[in-house]
Amino acid sequence: MTKNIKAVATKDYDAVIAAASRYVEGLRTGNREGVASAFHNDAVMYGFTNGKLMGGPIQNLYDFVEQHGAAPDIATRLDVLAITPTTAVVRVDMEKDAIGADYNDYLALLNIDGDWQVIAKVFHQFDQ
């Protein structure tokens, strides 16, 4: 007989969404530190913007926020696509970032000493 054990507590789902929400709120306010609070120091990002592959260290995202500022009209939906006790994937469906663009972001998170942190972001920008 297999065990019927709940592997991930509801509080972990909430903590994963809270980390993704810090990222989104940082974008909304144009606050680099707010965005950075969701990411691990060694995080990376890769994706397509205007049909071109771009990416590298997460510093590129912070530079974008500093250059373009707040996105007061941003609208998002956050969905936990997968979660284990130490990993999670969140889809961020986003409309109207600081440059008016729409994106899908996929955030890969790790639970490091009880703190959920984004370790990688992959994204797709839709045509404007």
User: In the chain, what are the domain boundaries?
Assistant: 10-125
Would you state the pLDDT for residue 127? Answer: 87
Task: Quote the pTM value.
Answer: 0.94
Q: What is the mean pLDDT of each run of 10 residues along the chain (128 residues)?
A: 88 97 98 98 94 93 96 98 97 97 97 97 92
Sheet holding 87-95, edge to edge: 52-57, 39-49, 115-125, 103-112, 87-95, 75-83
Task: Choose the CATH number for 10-125 among 3.90.1200.10, 1.10.10.10, 3.10.450.50, 3.40.50.2300.
Answer: 3.10.450.50
pLDDT for the residue numbered 28: 98
